[in-house]
Structure 1
Amino acid sequence: MPDSLLTDSWTLQDGISMTVLQNPLRTRILVTGVGKKFYVPPHWHAAHDEIHIVIKGRAIVTQDGVRQIVGPEDGACLTRRGVIHSLEGFPGEELILEETATAPEDTEQKIFFFRNMGAPGMLRSPLGIMQVLYYGDTYPKFPTGLRWLERLVIVALGGWVAPFFGYQLPDKRLRLDPSRFPRDKKD
């Protein structure tokens, strides 16, 4: 498996790979349709907006509970910060999906986020995942729908517990966005 920290293309799981593209800077997810279905669970971001573009195939994009099927003819799909969203492909179908943020520095951080998630063994490490979510401005949606609880769990597990047990980000260029936590508060 190529190391996501050293190359611009790596395998996330069987049949799903990610590539960093330039001019403009963005990530491309290639789903071959073989192996597990592509699925990104419901989550939200406190400090950045995302743009998804389906280059080939179809994806189901769910934003705040509204599901829509998006294809190449639909153009850019904008997800504003704070909107709970998920992405999924169709079983057995090829999908090429590109992702950026609305600000170039946020896109760079998203790439560092994906590099950390793609690091060998990371997806099998719950505390490692929590640490990447913490630094990557990503909060899972819980059934309770309580944003303060979703944020607290990520801060506690990713910001405090994971480092206590010696977890460190594989790619330390992923940094905590100070706009998520005011300076007069400590996380």
Structure 2
Amino acid sequence: MSDSLIADSWTLQDGISMTVLQNPLRTRVIVTGVGPKFYVPPHWHAAHDEIHVVLKGRLIVTQDGVRHVVGPEDGACITRRGVIHSLESFPGEELILEETTPAPEDTEQKIYFFRNLGVPGMLRSPLGIMQVFYHGDSYPKFPTGLRWLERPVIVALGGYIAPFLGYRLPDKRLRMDPSRFPRDKKD
């Protein structure tokens, strides 16, 4: 079993690690500034909001095409569900970033999401990533701008094709639950 499934801290890549923190439950990303920058490509969530807090350094948060530089003095940066967003550190700079959601059960699922993506080799497996995205309420932004196509592609690739080809989630606690991820969650 992978370290990311049993440990509360694991390496994402050289110079970037993730830790699960308690009370309150959240994840912490630590970027040393040595090695590649931290980058989360544009994506969106259908059923949950995210809260990012920068404890040290600066983070570029892009929300629906608007770029913000966020630092410790800015407090919480909230990304609402449905908003296309990306995260990026500055090359050569240290960054300590915490992520959570307004609902503890969503934060718990995000941790399972990150644990699955942290399994060695997972980030090099497009179908494995699509399966984790399917179960983890994450949808990549396609460069074509065909937003209506993003969810069906993840459902097809991650929900049907990946399992058919033998792909299995390393941590089965990450599960698409219709009561947690309704088709069109309303406020």
Normalising to structure 2: TM-score of the pair? Answer: 0.94
Alpha-carbon deviations, 1:20-72, whole Å to 9, x = none? 00000000000001111110000000000000000000000000011010000
Amino acid at match of 2:24: P
Please report the RMSD computed on the Cα atoms of aligned residues, expressed in angstroms.
1.1
Structure 2 contact 135–174 (Cα < 8 Å) conserved: yes
Report the CA distance between 1:121 and its aligned residue.
Answer: 1.3
Residue 43 of structure 2 corresponds to residue 43 of structure 1:
yes
SS of 2:41 mapped into structure 1: strand
Cα distance in 1 between the residues matched to 2:93 and 2:107: 27
Three-state SS of the structure 2 residue aligned to 1:4 is helix
* C-alpha contact (below 8 Å) 1:116/1:170 kept by paired residues: yes
Query: Could you tell me how far apart the structure 2 residues matched to 1:44 and 1:112 are?
Result: 17
Matches within 5 A, 1:39-118: 39-118=39-118
Q: CA deviation at 1:85?
A: 0.3
Structure 2 residue matching 1:46: 3-state secondary structure: coil
**Structure 1 residue matching 2:5: 3-state secondary structure:** coil
Aligned to 1:167: 167
Instruction: Say which SS state the counterpart of residue 156 (structure 2) adopts.
Output: helix
Whole-angstrom distance in 1 between the partners of 2:120 and 2:37? 21
Measured after TM superposition, the shift of residue 181 of structure 1 is 4.9
Matched ranges for 1:128-167 at <5 A: 128-167=128-167
Supply the distance in 2 between the matched residues of 1:103 and 1:123 (Cα, whole angstroms).
Answer: 27
SS in 1 for 2:37: coil
Equivalent residues of 1:137, 1:177 under 8 A apart: no
**135-144 vs 89-98, which moves further:** 135-144
TM-superposition CA deviations, 1:56-101 (whole Å, max 9, x none)? 0000000001101000000000000000000000000000000001
Whole-angstrom CA distance in 2 between matches of 1:120 and 1:84: 27
Alpha-carbon distance between aligned partners in 2 of 1:160 and 1:23, rounded to the nearest angstrom = 37
Give SS of 2:3's match: coil
Give structure 1 stretches of 5+ with no counterpart: 183-187
Which amino acid in structure 2 is aligned with residue 134 of structure 1?
Answer: Y
AA of the residue aligned to 1:124 = R
**Unmatched runs of 5 consecutive residues or more in structure 2:** none
Q: Deviations over 1:134-179 (max 9, x none)?
A: 0000000012222221011111110011001100000000010315
Q: Show structure 1 runs of 4+ deviating over 4 A.
A: none
Aligned positions, number: 181
